[in-house]
Amino acid sequence: MRTRILSLCTGSILLLSATGQSRADQELREAQDRFNAAKQQLELQRGQVERAKLAVMRHDVALWGCPKLEPGDTVIVHPGHSLVWNDRYKVPKWTAHLILPDIMEGNLARIDTFLPDPLVKTNTALIDAYWYSGYDRGHMVPSADMRWSMDALKATYYYSNVAPQKPEMNRGTWADLEDWMRRYVHYSGHRVFVVTAPILGKDMPLLNKPKAEADVYAPPLFFKAMVDLDAPVKKGIAFLMQNGLNDQGLLGYATTIDSVEVLSGLDLFPALDDTLEQRIEAQRNTQDWYGEGDKAMGEVAPLPAPLPGGRFNTLQAKYHIGSKATICGTVVSTRRTKKSNALYLNFDRMYPNQDFYATVWDYNSPNFSYDPETYLQGRKVCVTGMVSVFDDIARISINNEKEITFWEDVIDGK
């Protein structure tokens, strides 16, 4: 009898357990269905927002950001950027685009699927011309500026958006410039209009590949010009670089928009009224592009090159690895670690984004009459020593306070 009761009880428990499990499974399926429907709706809304942003970009670039058209120019409009193609030399005549604050939210990866441009009527199937040519396929509109939109990102990989650039340029100071522009947009929250173009010259090298279907020429110079029309005081600046090694530090290549217009023969921002255009196209002060947002993030403008007495700024430090040099900048933060028994002085940009730092090992602390951790914070200084590299960041180890000079003393000629 007892056995029968236990069996009935066990059967009831199993029945209740199965019923409860079935109910829980049903609730899970219903919750998952609601979640999937919400995700689909979110993706639909995200796509609509992205298309609206691209439409606004196309409108604004056409209105404010395109150079003046010349006879024979045909504007090609892609999601995220516009261009005019130079079919004679197989490079863009110019590209124009907007960098949006959305770049900080973009997480799309490089795709590296370089393809002919379907909107250019002439041949842009240029893979054989570039292959093993010694030149990179240098983006005019950086793919990283469009990581928030797959359509805009793909368009940056058309051959109509690339030109032959030496690796030391494309992967060096040119890449630094693209990053510098994105950081400005991030810190300021402003959009910036950018025109990028090669400057053609005489006797340009030909990417002479036997299997190439077209002749591609390597321009000697490239420039980027940018204007911020969202700022309370509208401003502009340009950067001009040679197609090769540019080792003077990024800010040393700043110039006026007027000057690159003279070299290129382009009228870059003709939609601006004459007074505004004249004012912003004569500007070249890089300090104007560092604001309160940068300071809040612990970043200040590197000292503008060239510096007196053969000194170098923090952006130039990486070009002097293995040599003794004097590097100058602002100590924006300090960091002491017990593991390495050292004090780190970060110049111009805070850890882990710094381009250069100085190290004071604990055993050298007695060689200072002051505490460098507190005394040097926020001051402009120059440090002298052997430039080495660690984790791709240039650095100098300081042995004593004689290897440190204060910037005000440099300016005074002491």
The residue from 296, 327, 356 where one domain ends is 296
250 shares its domain with 214: yes
> Side-chain half-sphere of 124: how many Cα atoms within 13 Å?
22
* 6 belongs to a structural domain: no
**At 334, is the secondary structure helix, strand, or coil?**
strand
Q: Has residue 16 been placed in a domain?
A: no
Query: Cα(180)–Cα(184) distance, rounded to whole angstroms?
Result: 6
Boundary-marking domain end, from 237, 267, 296 = 296
Average pLDDT of the residues in 177-192:
93
Verify that 146 and 210 share a domain, yes or no: yes
Q: Is residue 355 part of a domain?
A: yes
Residue 41 lies in a domain: no
Average pLDDT estimate for 173-184 = 94
- pLDDT value, residue 3: 52
Query: Which pLDDT belongs to residue 296?
Result: 66
DSSP assignment, residue 374?
H
Least reliable range by pLDDT among 121-130, 164-173, 207-216, 217-226: 207-216
At residue 110, the pLDDT reads 84
Q: Residue 342: which domain range?
A: 308-411
Q: Give the C-alpha separation, 343 to 243, whole Å.
A: 39
Q: Tell me which residue of 227, 143, 233 sits closest to 185, measured CA to CA.
A: 227
> CATH number, domain at 262?
3.40.570.10
pTM, to two decimals: 0.83
Task: Identify whether residues 324 and 399 lie together within a single domain.
Answer: yes
What single-letter DSSP state applies at residue 64?
Answer: I
Is 243 a domain residue? yes
Provide the domain count of the chain.
2
Average pLDDT over residues 42-58: 83
pLDDT in tens, 57-72: 999 999 999 999 999 9
66 and 155 housed in the same domain: yes
- Residues 290, 351, single domain; the answer is no
DSSP 3-state of 138: strand
- Using pLDDT thresholds of 50, 70 and 90, give the confidence band for residue 45: confident
Residue 96 sits in the same domain as residue 231: yes
Task: Please write the tens of the pLDDT for every residue from 336-394.
Answer: 887 778 999 999 998 888 899 999 999 999 999 999 999 999 999 999 999 999 999 99
Is the pLDDT reported for residue 254 higher than 90? yes
Tell whether 146 is covered by a domain.
yes
**Residue range 205-220, pLDDT digits in tens:** 999 777 777 899 999 9
Q: Are residues 344 and 200 in the same domain?
A: no
**Tens-digit pLDDT profile for residues 284-334:** 999 899 887 777 677 888 998 889 999 999 999 999 999 999 999 999 999
What's the chain's average pLDDT? 90
Confidence of residue 6 (pLDDT cuts 50, 70, 90): very low
Largest CA distance in the chain: 109
Check residue 304 and give its pLDDT. Answer: 87
Looking at the structure, do residues 288 and 318 belong to the same domain, yes or no?
no
Q: Please indicate, yes or no, whether residues 239 and 94 belong to a single structural domain of this protein.
A: yes
Question: DSSP label at 306?
Answer: S
CATH of residue 345: 2.40.50.140
Same domain, 145 and 270: yes
Q: Which residues of 72-103 are buried (b: 16+ CB within 10 A; e: fewer)?
A: eeeebebbbbbbbbbeebbbbbbbbbbbbbbb
- What is the per-residue pLDDT for 248? 84
Write out the H or E segment, with its range, that includes residue 197: strand 192-199
Domain membership flag for residue 168: yes
**247 and 395 both lie in a single domain:** no
Which token pair is 283?
A: 């500007």
CB atoms within 10 A of CB 210: 5
Question: In this structure, is residue 3 part of a structural domain?
Answer: no
Domain-ending residue, one of 274, 296, 318: 296
Instruction: Specify the length of the chain in residues.
Output: 414
Q: Predicted confidence band at 229 (pLDDT cuts at 50, 70, 90)?
A: very high
Confidence band (pLDDT; 50, 70, 90) for 8? Answer: very low
What pLDDT is recorded for position 20? 67
Residue 400 banded pLDDT, cuts 50, 70, 90? very high
Residues 274 and 340 grouped into a single domain: no
Instruction: Name residue, tokens 């002051």.
Output: 370
